[in-house]
């Protein structure tokens, strides 16, 4: 999977990750759903990001995130009305690498791009994107590219 981020989208979700530190932030990546959505070779272009509240209790927010499923369902309906959809979910890992945790694996849904931004001491570091494998037992890493970057 290749996830294209516009400079504005990348800047905003990185700012969100810094502002939430040392708690995890979370939000959605929005764009046009491709016909092959969920396919390993898909190309996703995030046109917008949308900040959401991490709904875990305060003491848990430093190591996991949760999105209200009713909010998610409502947003998907609203996006569909303007021909857009949820391409994926982003969240931050305060003082941890941008690799999915066992919790992330347990709670991931098929097809969505999971973008993780590592934040160390309030400074955002690398961002990596992950797609659940077909057997749902692991993640496959994709590539994060700036919009309009040449194909590798
Ligand atoms: Zn995580």
pLDDT at 97: 96
User: Model's pTM, two decimal places?
Assistant: 0.92
Spatial CA neighbour of 100 closest among 68, 134, 132 = 132
66 close to 56: Cβ distance less than 8 angstroms: yes
Quote the ligand 1 centre to 49 CA distance (angstroms).
Answer: 18
> Residue 143's pLDDT is what?
96
pLDDT at 152: 53
Residue 64 pLDDT: 78
What's the 19 CA to ligand 1 centre distance in angstroms?
17
C-alpha 151: how far from chain center: 21
Parallel/antiparallel/unpaired status of strands 113-120 and 43-46:
unpaired
Q: How far is the CA of 9 from the centre of ligand 1 (A)?
A: 19
Domain 2-146 has CATH 3.40.140.10: yes
CA distance 19 to 16: 5
What pLDDT was estimated at residue 148? Answer: 67
- State the Cα–Cα distance between residues 152 and 148, nearest whole angstrom: 12
Q: What is the pLDDT of residue 63?
A: 76
Say what the pLDDT of residue 149 is.
57
Residue with token string 């961002």: 127
In this predicted structure, what is the pLDDT of residue 146? Answer: 86
Q: What is the pLDDT of residue 58?
A: 74
**Spans of the chain, pLDDT less than 50:** none
How far does the centroid of ligand 1 lie from the alpha carbon of residue 94, in Å? Answer: 9
Which residues line ion ligand 1, judged by CB < 5 Å? 101, 104
CA 62 to ligand 1 center in whole angstroms: 10
pLDDT at 60: 73
* Contact (Cβ atoms closer than 8 angstroms) between residue 40 and residue 28: no
Q: With left for phi above 0 and alpha for psi between -120 and 50, is residue 33 left, alpha or beta?
A: beta
Report residue 75: phi and psi, to 5°: -65, -40
**Which candidate, 137, 133, 151, 45, places its Cα nearest to that of 88?**
45
């Amino acid at each position: 999977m290749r996830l294209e981020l516009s400079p504005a989208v990348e800047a905003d979700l990185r700012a969100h990750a810094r502002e939430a530190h040392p708690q995890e932030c979370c939000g959605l990546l929005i764009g046009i759903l491709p016909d092959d959505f969920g396919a390993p070779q898909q190309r996703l272009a995030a046109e917008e990001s949308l900040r959401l509240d991490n709904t875990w209790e305060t003491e848990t927010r430093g190591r996991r995130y949760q999105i209200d499923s009713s909010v998610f369902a409502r947003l998907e309906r609203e996006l569909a009305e303007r021909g857009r959809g949820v391409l994926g979910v982003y969240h931050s890992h305060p003082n941890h690498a941008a690799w999915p945790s066992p919790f992330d694996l347990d709670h991931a849904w098929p097809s969505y791009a999971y973008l993780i931004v590592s934040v160390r001491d309030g400074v955002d570091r690398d961002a990596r994107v992950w797609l659940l494998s077909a057997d749902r037992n692991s993640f496959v890493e994709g590539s994060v590219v700036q919009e309009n970057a040449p194909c590798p």
